[in-house]
Structures are given as C-alpha cells and as structure tokens.
Amino acid sequence: MISLDLLFEAVLFGILLGCFYAAVSLGLSVAFGLLDVPYVAHPALLILGSYFTFLLSKTGIDPIICGLLLMPVFYVIGIALYRFYYETFERRSSDTGVRGLAFFFGIAFIIEVCLILVFGVDQRTVSATYIGSSLEIGEYRFPYRMLVAFGIAIFLTTLLTLYFSKTFNGRAIKAVGQDEGALRLMGANPVKIKQLAFGIATAVNALAGAMLIIVGPVEPAMDRIYIGRTFCVVVLAGLGSMSGTLVAGLILGIAESIVMMTLGASWAPAVSFGLLLLMLGIRPQGLFGR
Amino acid sequence: MKYSIYAFIALLGFLGLSLMNVNEYIFFAGFVILQFVVLATAWNILGGYAGYVNFGVPAFIAVGAYTAVVLFKSISAPLVVQIIGGGILAGLLGLTVGLLTLKLRGIFFSIATVAVVFILETVVMNWRYVGGATGLQLTRPQDLWIFDTYTRMLFFVMAVLAIGSVSIARYIQDSFLGRGLRAVRDSEEAAECSGVPTLKIKLIACTISGALMGIAGAPMPMYLSYIEPTATFNLNYSISALGMPIIGGTSHWIGPVIGALLLATIQQVVTVTVSNELNVLVVGVLLVLFVVLAPDGILGLIKKWKQSSK
Amino acid sequence: METILEVNNVVKQFGGFTALSGVNVNVHKGERLGLIGPNGSGKTTLINCISGAFTDYEGAIHFNGQDISKLKAHERTKRGIARSFQIPRPFSSMTVMENLLVPFAFVGGKDGPEQQAEAMEILRGMGLADKAFVQSNQLSQVELRKMELARAMAAKPKLLISDEAMAGLSGNEVDEVLEILFDLNKLGITIIMIEHIMQAVMKFSERVICLDAGKIICEGTPENIVKNPDVQRAYLGD
Amino acid sequence: MDKIRRKILETGGAGLLAATVPTSMAFAQSAPVKIGMSMPQTGGLGAGGQAALIGLRMWVDDVNAKGGLLGRKVEFIVYDDQSNGANTPGIYTKLLDVDKVDILIAPYATNPTAPIMPLVKERGKLLMGNFSFQVNAKVQHDMWFNNAPWNDAKGWSEGFLEAGKNAGAKSIAIFAADAEFQQNLANGCREIVKNTDWNLVYDQNYPGNNTDFSSIIRSVRAARPEVVFVACYPNEAVAIMRSVNEIGLGSQVQIFGGGMVGLQFTPVMQSLGSLLNGVVNYNSYVPGMKFPGIEDFFKRYTERAIAAKVDPLGFYLPPFNYATGQMIEQAVNATKTFDNKRLADYLRRNEINTIVGPISFDKNGERSKPRMVQAQFRNIKDNDWEQFKNPGKQVVIWPAADKQGDVITPFDRARKAT
C-alpha cells in the first residue's frame, strides 16, 4: 500500500513538523513545566502572536522580523499576566486549582472570540519570499517555510537551554520549580524569578506565533487543536526539560506525519491528543521526567 | 422534606406549562435553558465539590447524543431508553478518564478531558453509520404521550432531568460523599489522612457528573431531528458549563442553577436580539470577572451583602 | 513491651536521589518517640512512608502486627495511624467542627449529633471549643496546629504522628501544644514527634531517634542523644 | 387562532392551515407582510451569509419601492444563528409564534437548515431553501423550494469529470474536507467515478481547517493521478494551492479542482491570485453568462457590498437570494394571497423568471433543471479583485449551454497558459 520511500519522506517531513511543534511548545514547557502554572491560555497567546505578526507584516516587514519585534511586547504581556495571576490566586493561595484553570481558560476564550470579532473566522496568511516555494533535493521537495520553522525551533531551543544552564537567573528559574526555599537561600526572590520566567515563556510565544503563520494560515479557533499539541509535547518531554521538549516534538511530528500518510489526514487531530492521553495513563512523569 | 415538596411543585408546574396553550417558542428556549441547568449542575458535582475542572463537557454531551442516535437508528429505541443509554455510556467515559488521570494533579485531568473531545470528534467524523461529517437527519416518531408537540414533550423531559440532577447534586452535597469531596478540594493529603478514600470518591463524582452530562445530551438529536459533529462537539459548551457554576457559586447546589438560569436566559435573549460572537463573549468575560473579583460567585456576593446588612 | 509499629529496612528513592536508605524503627505501645535530624535528613519522608503518603518504597511496615506496607493512607488511618502536617492543611472551606466530622464520617462511619458532641469534647480538651463554628481559614497559627491535632484525634488513632506541630509558635504556645500531646499520651496513644525545637523534643520524648542523610545515626534517651558526637556533627556539620 | 392551530397540530394536517389564514389576514390587511429568516452572519458560514443577506435586502427594497406585495409593505426579519444548527429551531419558532411571520426563508447552507425541516413541516409552512443540499429528501415537505442551482450531488462534478475524460484521463485522486458540504461534493464525484472504468488511486478526507497540506499533496503526487478532485473549505484553498506549488502534482495531471468551495468568494480569489490559473472549478455564476438584469444587479450589489465590507463581487449566493425574493413576489402576485399552501402549489407548477434565469422545481422542491457550471481560471494577476468582473478570467467549459471555451490541459500547461 504505502511505499518505503514515501514513508521515508513522511519521516523527513515529520522531523521538520516536529521541530515546529517543539518550538510552539517551548513557552508552555517553561510556564507549566517549570513554574507549574496551569497556563492553558498558552495556545491562545500563540495564535495572538500570529495575528500580530499578520498585522505587522502588512507594513512589508518580514514575518520573522515581526516575530522578533513582538518578543518584547509579549515579554511585558507575560509579566503582567503572571503578576495578575500571582496577586489574585497564588498569593491568596485561593485554590489555584479550579480558579487558576478557569481564569486561564476564560482568558484563552476571550482572546479567541476577540480575534473572531476583529478578524472574522477566515484564515489569515502572510507572504514572504520563502513561502510557497520549496528546496529540491533529488526526489524530495522541502517547503522553505518548514525549513525556516526548523531553523527557528533549533535556535530557540539552544537559546533557552543555554540560558537555563549558564546564567544565574536561568538556573534560578530551574530551581524555583523544585524548591522555593532553596531559592530564597540563594538570595533570589521567587516571585521575581517566576515573573521573569513567565515573561520569557510568553516572549518565546511571539516568535513561535510568527513561525506558526509562516508555516500555514491561522484562524482564531486554532488554539484549540494546539492545546493538544503543546501539552502533548510538554507532558511527553517530562515537565520542564528543554531538550526533552525538542525530542518530544519530533516524536509527535513524525507520528502525525506518518498517520497522515497511512491512515489519512482525517485522523491527524487525534494523534497528539491520543499520545497525550496515553502518556498521562502510563507515564505521567514524561519520557525524560524524574 | 421541604425541598422534595418544592421539587414536586416545580415538576407539576413544568407539566402544566407544557400542557397549557401557550406560545411554542417558550418550549424551544426553555429546553435549552433547562439543558444548561443539567450541564452546570453536573459539572459542579466534580468541579465545584471536588475541584477537578472538566473542560471536556462537549465530549460527554456528544456521547449521550450519539448513543441516542445509534440506539434510535439501530433498534428505534424510545426516548427514555436513548437517555438512559446515553447516561450510562457517558458515565463510563467519565469513569475511564477518571481512572486514567484522577490520580494526577487537577490540570492533567482537565487537559485529558480536552483530549477526549478531539479524539471522539475525530472518531465520529470518520464514522459513517452516524452520518460522519455530513451529519444525519432523523425523523421523529409521532408518539407524543399526552403532549401536543414533540418539543413540548422534550421540554417536559428536560425539566424532569433538570429537577432530577439538581436533586442528585443536593443529595451528594449533604452526604458523606459531599463532605469527602469538599475535603479533597481543600486538601487531598489531609483528606486521605482523615480516612477519606479520595480516589474512590473522585471516581464516583466523575462518573455521576459524566453520566448527567450524557443525559443532558441524549435528547439533542430528537430536539434538532438532526445531528452533526461540529455543533455537537462545540467547545462553547465547556465555557458555559464551567462558567455558570463559577458565576452562580460552586459551594452550594443552588449556585449552578442560578448561574445557568441567568446566563442561559441571557444567551437566549442575545441570540434573538443583538446576536453575534458577543453572545459567547458574555460568558467568557463574566467568568473571568467572577473568578477574579467574586471567587464565591453570586452566592458569595449574597452572603457578603447579608453580613454587611446585619 | 509490646511493639505497635515496626519499620523494617525501608528504602525510598526519588528518581536518582535516595531519601531513605534502609531505616529500621520499632515503636512500643504508649511510647513517646522523638524523631530529629537536620533539614533533608529524611524525617518527613519516613513519616510519609508510615502514614501512607508514599507506598512506593522498599522494605516493610507492620502496624499492630499486620503488614500495612501496601495500604493507602486512608486505609492506614482506619487502622489507627493519624498525623498532623508540617504546613497545616485545614479543610479551609469548613468550620472547625466540620473539619473534625470528616474523620468521624469516614473512619467511624457516623457524623450524627453524638459524634458532634464527641468532637466538642476533643475541642474542649484542646481549648478550641469556642472556635468550633469558626471557619478554619480564620484560625491563628497555634489554633490551626491544635485543630490539626484535634482532627487527628477524631480519627480515633492508636498512633499519632505530630510533624513539627510547634514550628513557628511562641514559647508558651509551644508549651500549650506540648501539654496537649502529653494529655493525649496519657490516654494511651503512642506518639511520634518530629521537631526542630530541641527543648520540646527532649522534654517530651522517652526515646529519641536521629536521622541524617536517610540513615538512623543514633538512638537513645534524650540525655545520651544531646551528648552524642554524631548528632552534633549532623547538626553543626564539620 | 391558537386553538385552531392546536387542532391542526393534533390532526397534523397542514392542509387545514389554509382555513386559518384568512382570519389572520382579516385583521392584518393593512399591516406589513412579514418575511422572516435566520441567516448565519457569524461563524463558519458568516461570510457567505452576509453577502447573501445583501441580495435579499436588495429585493426587499426593490419590491417595497414598487409598492410592496399586494399593497402591503414587506417587513424583513432576520436573526443570526452563528452558523450553528442548534440555534435555528428556537429562532424559527420565534419567527412563527412571536413575530408571526407570513413567509419563511431558510438559512444559508445545510447544517442550519436541516434542524428546522420537521418543525416547518409540522406547521405546514412554505420554506424557501437557501443553497442547502438535499435536506428535503428525507423529510419530504411539499412546501420546500431550494434556490440552489443544483439537484443531487452529481451536478457538481459531472462537467469536471467529463473534461477529464475528454483529456483521456483514466485515474483520479479525491481529497475532501471532513465537513457536510464538502463531503456531499466528494460523494457525488465518487458516485460517478464508480460507474466508469477509471481507477480511484487516492481518496481521503482531511479534518476541517487543516492548515498544512504537504503530506496530502505528497501522497497524491505519489499516486500519480490524471485527475485531481478537491472539495475544500474556503479557508483551506490558499494552503492547498501553496502546497501544490511547493510539492507539485506531477506532469501527468490533466485537470485539477472541481469542488473547491471558496473559489467563488472574492477575498479567497484575490489572495490566491495567479495561483488560481489553470484550476477548473464549479460555480453558480460567472461573468459572461447572459441573464436579464444580472449586470444591473451586480452593479448595485457591489456598491452596497463595499459599503458593508462584504464580498464585493458576490457571484455565488447574492443573485440567487435575490431570485428567492423574485420567486415569492411572482407567486404572491399570481395567486393574490399569502396562503402558504397556495403559494407552494404555484411554485411547484410554474416556471419563474429570475435574474439567474428561469427556475422550476421537481417534486422534492429541488431545481428540475440544475444549472451549475465548471469554469477554468485563466491569466489571473495577483491582488486585484476587479479583474474577476471581466469575462474570460473564468472560462465556462461546461455545460454546453453556457460554454465559453475549451478546457486547457494538462494542468501544468493550463497554469502557464494566457
């Protein structure tokens, strides 16, 4: 039925797709994986990033640049969001469980509906020289947009990995997840650190959003499917591991790509969610989790 | 005892109304509102009492609805059987999801419920027997019992279901189960160490809650005489079913009822007036506002007001 | 003396890190046992193993002669092991009375008027009677501590584990709580006390066990323990 | 009034309703005549719905300018069902029982329409269908009339496949969105293919609002089909054409397209631009088709559409919605009544002249003479929507009646052809 080289092609494309999934999940991997904030609004902010990129790129700026330009804006949004979350829930420790979740779910929902009100339900696209054409290597053709995504993914992952291992704040962020007390001993204020981390997580989302709209058209309700993809990757990776996130992304990407070619695309949405359920059922601590 | 009398009176009231010679529109709008009463109440049994947030409400509704469709199409089962069947399967779904994730922290359960929505939707999309993506038209049987129109009957059925599920929620609240669930919400460890079999009661709550949502969904195909995945698996159900209890107040069984009656009515009015996405935005915004400003919902506000007026 | 709790060579690991490496403890009926050790020495891990918060450890734990190693926490509570928490965990949406009724309901199986009367008795014993119908998130630190002990008592325990019940309390508050624990012990309840406040442990315990790095480094009467060089090293470091 | 209605409901006989209408008219003589509907103005069908609505409103204004229907002003009542079928039963009972409308028009598309069919049949009401698909096949309501230029599913792909046959094609690939309308399109195509000696080398559905088609196009290319039939959402057209450009389909492909929903909508056509060239796709109207009054209609439509920020060309739905109005108008004027039963009888028996040509119905209330066209896009430039007004940009290749030119094959050549 399905030829080997087609399968091989599926895997190749799956790798590109996988890096892309990893990149869109990095922010969540920090916010949820490291800080343990029930950040279900992450995919919504991802889409928001795409739409901002869409607006900016109308001025003729290249979408990637747009993404980079948006990062500081999103950094601030992230800080504000965490501040608010901290003041209203974490500090009062009024069960962050239900209210925190409901809060972020509500935020995600509001973002989505507002996008619909402003842009309508039609898909939006950006144009750039590297969109719509592809790199030919012998039999195979690789869309440049996917290669771009691949590049961004690798860039972001290495950047964050380095940041978390090399810098003081980076290590502090890694620590805050495990033990706030120890962090206080290190002479760092956990809330400040978390705030910083959350800012970074959201800033990363801006570039990821730009990448999302480069890879394909976006529409407001798209965050829903990405709840599955991002959380699947983060859980698969084991909370808070950046390199793990990349690997997990690859697993998801290849799995989806192969399913699309064999079972057919109509089963694609179930892949990420299915994988997620499976993980939660058999190994919630993730592949690389403690 | 007082409650059961009120419940009975309400039941008679609904029966009378659906037999009375009044404007048919009431029953179409009323059906939807009462359906949300069931959904909100069901959600609150797990989300409000135990603090486990279910985002996957449409999955349970859909299981109810599509079970009904299958039962109707295969053995042309009567409405009652459809509802019971839908309830049972949705309950089983709740149990399965629970077994899979209720050992874990709340957010994993929540994400899992979202996953169930998409997986089931994909399955239904690829399942031709129930119409797949194209949907399925159903011709209602003409057994109207004592009612003039099928909708009047459905309205009364939904009223019964609403009163039933509220009674269940109320019973749970006052029972050991309710006490245990509250303990779980406040501190799972302390609950365990006070002898509460946390996992067991969470599973019970999850199953009951799921079953009630299924029951709420089961009459949908007959109400629309048509079923189609995109509307059935619409995540807007989640935001409503979660928003209504939180806005009404999750601590007491009356909370979800208030929230549902209020918001569902607003939604019905909005649909036939200024209607557009604002309709769903209302719930979203109110939800966030309440979560932030009035964590204990309308009930909490009333309590505060009473205390201050004393 | 009859043994009520027997911890046999319990090993508990978190991923790579070994929190307990082969701990053996015997507790006698009616005993007042002190458990000390520096931060991260494994005290709380040990009692989490005993109370059943963890069940994934190697080794065996016997209570009243029965192997309870694989039992969940709530089943152990039913068998008579109750505890308080280092960081108080009240059922904050409930009144103090309701807090006590939870164990009454789930351990005793009843929460009727006579149980409420019983709960009132317990509260009176701890000087919380006037707070019975206050919502538990309104309580002061020391009241919370007392309420947790009261809630533990409501489970009708044979063994009570008090996990740093005095942390962050003032001098005379410490004495109050200490008094309560003595009274409970007089009722024949075996008590394990984890504590940082040395005077309290030494005053309370008949026997003290010192943990360090997941091992028992020594065991004996309070007098010997304070003299023990290992203990001093463990605390002060060298 | 109400009592009588209940009696009718008990007996279920729509026929008796006739008896009630005069009484209701007696007191309503001078009052405006109410025409009511629900139109998806938000959600997935929103874009199309808004355009269609302009078409209807134009008719309402025109008829009122002419002094209304039987001397009564036409009052047009519209609600928004947000493209969600779960809302329509409520809305239509409100229209019937609260607003007491005289004539009902169905919402655009099948999903919102299907749930109201039994209700409307119960009440024995006339319902003017609106680009839905075979909703009446099961319900068999004899007072239903659909304005869509198709009948059964074959109508869409017939011409497309014929063009393929003429190009000597023997193999076909089908991929379609997992959605109601797209699946019906694809099923029609599958139907026809079954009864040919063609082999179906690829046939798959993909989830709605899919955004990356690389894998699908890759599999299609690997299957080496000569004809590629696509049934997609408006949303996905861009992504699909991009992937086709990136991955390529192979030189063996003769024709491509068929059931791409959205290639009728200006925003989509505009954003696709030159990517459209060579695609053969179904349509309900393209410039150059000669109907009395249609040019004038579009001139006025475009003004209103631009003002309202909706599809400025509106080839697909608006003229047919205007036609719906014309059908009502002609039936009312001929029968001199608003009695739904008699209006229905008239519509069933007579051919009506509209701005989209003469319309007549079969017993199911679908068009007895379907009039879909297959047109090929040629020498389209990027971002310029006005170009589509001109004939020759979309060349009708089927049916013979409306033919404007021959199809260019193979696809690769057609894409470059000018």
pLDDT computed for residue D334 by the predictor: 96
> Strand order in C3-14's β-sheet?
C17-28, C3-14, C58-63, C66-67
pLDDT computed for residue D24 by the predictor: 38
Task: State how far residue B178 is from chain A, nearest Cα, in angstroms.
Answer: 17
**How many A×C Cβ pairs under 8 Å?**
3
**Closest Cα in chain B to D91:** B272
Which positions in chain A have a beta carbon within 8 angstroms of at least one beta carbon in chain C? 290
What are the sequence ranges of the domains in chain B? 2-236
> Three-state SS for C162?
strand
> Three-state SS for A168?
helix
Pick from B51, B55, B107: which is nearest to A95 by CB? B51
Distance CA D273, CA D42 (A): 26
> Three-state SS for A216?
coil
Q: Residue D152: phi, psi to the nearest 5? A: -90, 180
pLDDT tens column, D301-349: 999 999 988 899 999 999 999 999 999 999 999 999 999 999 999 999 9
Q: Is the pLDDT higher at C225 or at C15? A: C225
- Selection from B176, B179, B209 nearest residue B53 by Cα: B209
Question: Which residue shows structure tokens 């919502």?
Answer: C135
pLDDT computed for residue B276 by the predictor: 59
Chain B residues touching residue D179 (CB < 8 angstroms): 133, 230
pLDDT tens column, A121-169: 777 888 888 888 888 887 788 889 889 989 998 999 999 999 998 998 8
Which chains have 3 or more CB–CB distances shorter than 8 Å to chain C? A, B
* The pair of three-digit structure tokens given for residue C43, joined into one six-digit string: 């005290």
pLDDT tens column, D119-139: 899 899 999 999 998 899 888
pLDDT computed for residue D360 by the predictor: 96
pLDDT tens column, D40-60: 987 778 889 999 999 999 999
Q: Model pTM greater than 0.80?
A: yes
Q: Say what percent of chain A tops pLDDT 70.
A: 94
Lowest mean pLDDT of B14-18, B59-63, C231-235, D170-174, name the range: C231-235
Q: Report the DSSP pairing between strands C215-220 and C66-67.
A: unpaired
Give the pLDDT band (50/70/90) at residue D368: very high
pLDDT tens column, B262-291: 999 988 888 777 655 677 788 889 889 998
Lowest mean pLDDT of A82-96, A256-270, B214-228, name the range: A82-96
Task: State how far residue B180 is from chain C, nearest Cα, in angstroms.
Answer: 7
pLDDT computed for residue D43 by the predictor: 78
Lowest mean pLDDT of A83-92, B120-129, B246-255, name the range: A83-92
For residue D353, which amino acid is it? N
B45 pLDDT exceeds 60?
yes
Q: What is the mean pLDDT of residues B172-191?
A: 93
pLDDT computed for residue B308 by the predictor: 86
Distance CA A103, CA A109 (A): 10
Helix or strand (DSSP H, E) at C34: strand C32-36
Task: State how far residue A228 is from chain C, nearest Cα, in angstroms.
Answer: 27
ipTM, 2 decimals? 0.87
pLDDT tens column, B102-158: 888 888 999 999 999 999 999 999 898 999 888 898 888 887 888 988 899 999 999
Chain-chain contact of C94 with B182 (C-beta, under 8 angstroms): yes
C107 pLDDT exceeds 60?
yes
Chain-chain contact of B277 with A101 (C-beta, under 8 angstroms): no
pLDDT computed for residue B275 by the predictor: 53
- Selection from A112, A87, A283 nearest residue B108 by Cα: A283
D27 pLDDT exceeds 50?
no
D5 pLDDT exceeds 90?
no
pLDDT tens column, D138-172: 889 999 999 999 998 888 889 999 999 999 999 99
D84 pLDDT exceeds 90?
no
Q: How far is CA B213 from CA A168, B181, D85, in A?
A: 50, 19, 20
Task: State how far residue C232 is from chain B, nearest Cα, in angstroms.
Answer: 34
* Touching A: C residues 39-98, CB under 8 Å: none
Question: Which residue shows structure tokens 């020594």?
Answer: C218
* Stated length of chain C: 238
pLDDT tens column, C129-188: 999 999 998 899 999 999 999 999 999 999 999 998 888 888 899 999 999 999 999 999
Instruction: Assess whether the previous peptide bond of D207 is cis (omega < 30° from 0).
Output: no
**Closest Cα in chain C to A181:** C39
Q: Which residues contact D289 (CB under 8 A, 6 or more apart)?
A: D373, D396, D402
Chain B residues touching residue A105 (CB < 8 angstroms): 53, 55, 238-239, 242, 287
A4-282 maps to which CATH number? 1.10.3470
* The pair of three-digit structure tokens given for residue D343, joined into one six-digit string: 């209006």
CA torsion sign for B268, B269, B270, B274 is: positive
Q: Do chains A and D touch (3 or more CB pairs under 8 A)?
A: yes
What are the sequence ranges of the domains in chain C? 3-89+157-236
Which chains have 3 or more CB–CB distances shorter than 8 Å to chain B? A, C, D
Distance CA D217, CA D233 (A): 16
Chain-chain contact of C73 with B193 (C-beta, under 8 angstroms): yes
Chain B residues touching residue A228 (CB < 8 angstroms): 114-115, 118
pLDDT computed for residue D22 by the predictor: 41
pLDDT computed for residue B207 by the predictor: 98
Chain-chain contact of B192 with C53 (C-beta, under 8 angstroms): yes
Task: State how far residue B118 is from chain C, nearest Cα, in angstroms.
Answer: 34
A52 pLDDT exceeds 70?
yes
Any bridge partners for residue D200, and if so which? D172
For residue A228, which amino acid is it? G
Pick from B107, B122, B250: which is nearest to A269 by CB? B122
**Closest Cα in chain A to D243:** A132
Chain-chain contact of D90 with B271 (C-beta, under 8 angstroms): yes
pLDDT tens column, D197-246: 999 999 999 987 677 788 899 889 989 999 999 999 887 888 899 899 88
pLDDT computed for residue C236 by the predictor: 67
The full set of domains in chain D, from first to last, is 2-146+292-355 (3.40.50.2300), 154-289+371-416 (3.40.50.2300)
Indicate the DSSP class of residue A97.
I
pLDDT tens column, C182-223: 999 999 999 999 988 888 899 999 999 999 888 999 899 988
Distance CA D50, CA D38 (A): 11
Give the pLDDT band (50/70/90) at residue B1: low
Q: Say what percent of chain D tops pLDDT 90.
A: 66
* The pair of three-digit structure tokens given for residue C209, joined into one six-digit string: 């066990």
Which CATH architecture does the domain made up of C3-89+157-236 adopt?
3-Layer(aba) Sandwich (3.40)
- Selection from D210, D177, D211 nearest residue A216 by Cα: D211
**Closest Cα in chain B to D205:** B126
Distance CA D195, CA D199 (A): 10
